[in-house]
């Protein structure tokens, strides 16, 4: 089994309730979307084919049991569910970032899916797979990256389509920080008494000039 891997690195998780925790990242090559604000364009095509033992070898240099499979869009590679299964069997806690355009149940339900719902400013909001809303487990997380008021209102509209007993702390509203001031989104959430989690892109605050993993 082999996958096309863009990079494997060790850093801090930056965009979920796991934010701040040291984490191994496996960034897989390829994405089916082209978001306007994408900051990982280098992952569209760049990568090398690695077999599972080679991936595990590279991970072994870090003493960490938390791993995130990301991209690009990890689900476009057919072997990603197998990779996730192997990592779970090895005892890792596995997160997977996905853009929500593909069936999230392709991966084991022991994997924690951090699913983006793309807002209008991404130019890719039409590609969201609505059925994924029915497939969310309580441990999963839903993320909205918000660039302006239109995005914010869209996020509220989509949030209202998520089942009512889904944990509100797992619904993440995150500003595109170079466009929407951090305080503006905070004000909107507070004044609307929005039952969600405000989520900063921690890694961008710590390493503002880095465009890829540490
Ligand atoms: S889904 Fe993610 S990797 Fe793909 S284009 Fe959008 S931001 Fe970039």
What is the secondary structure of 161-213 as a DSSP string?
TS-TTS-GGGEEEEE-TTTS-HHHHHHHHHHTT--SEE---HHHHHSTT--S-
pLDDT at 214: 58
Q: 73-95, pLDDT tens digit by residue?
A: 999 999 999 999 999 999 999 99
Supply the CATH number for residue 16's domain. Answer: 3.20.20.70
- pTM over 0.85? The answer is yes
State the burial class of residue 209 (Cβ atoms within 10 Å of its Cβ: 0-12, 13-18, 19+): exposed
Q: Find the residues whose C-beta lies inside 6 A of ligand 1.
A: 31, 33-35, 38, 40, 71-73, 99
Above pLDDT 90, what percent of the chain?
88
Q: Is residue 70 part of a domain?
A: yes
Q: Is residue 48 part of a domain?
A: yes
Closest approach atom of ligand 1 to CA 97: 2
Q: Is residue 214 part of a domain?
A: no
Q: Which domain holds residue 137?
A: 2-206
Q: How confident is the model at residue 179 (pLDDT cuts 50, 70, 90)?
A: confident
């Amino acid at each position: 089994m082999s996958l096309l891997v863009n990079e494997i690195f060790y850093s801090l998780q930056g965009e979920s309730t796991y934010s701040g925790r040291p984490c191994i990242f496996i960034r897989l090559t390829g994405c089916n979307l082209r978001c306007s604000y994408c900051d990982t364009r280098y992952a569209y095509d760049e990568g090398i084919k690695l077999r599972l033992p080679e991936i595990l070898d590279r991970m072994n240099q870090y003493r960490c049991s938390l791993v995130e499979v990301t991209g690009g869009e990890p689900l476009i590679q057919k072997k990603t569910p197998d990779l996730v299964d192997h990592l779970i069997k090895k005892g890792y806690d596995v997160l997977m970032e996905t853009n929500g355009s593909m069936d999230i149940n392709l991966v084991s339900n022991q994997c924690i899916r951090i699913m983006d719902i793309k807002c209008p400013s991404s130019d890719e909001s039409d590609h969201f797979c609505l059925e994924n809303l029915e497939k969310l487990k309580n441990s999963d997380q839903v993320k909205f990256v918000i660039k302006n008021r239109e995005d914010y209102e869209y996020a509220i509209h989509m949030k209202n389509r998520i089942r009512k007993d889904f944990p509100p702390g797992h619904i993440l509203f995150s500003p595109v920080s170079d466009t929407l001031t951090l305080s503006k989104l905070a004000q909107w959430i507070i004044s609307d008494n929005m039952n969600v989690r405000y989520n900063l892109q921690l890694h961008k605050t710590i390493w503002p000039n880095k465009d890829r993993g540490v």
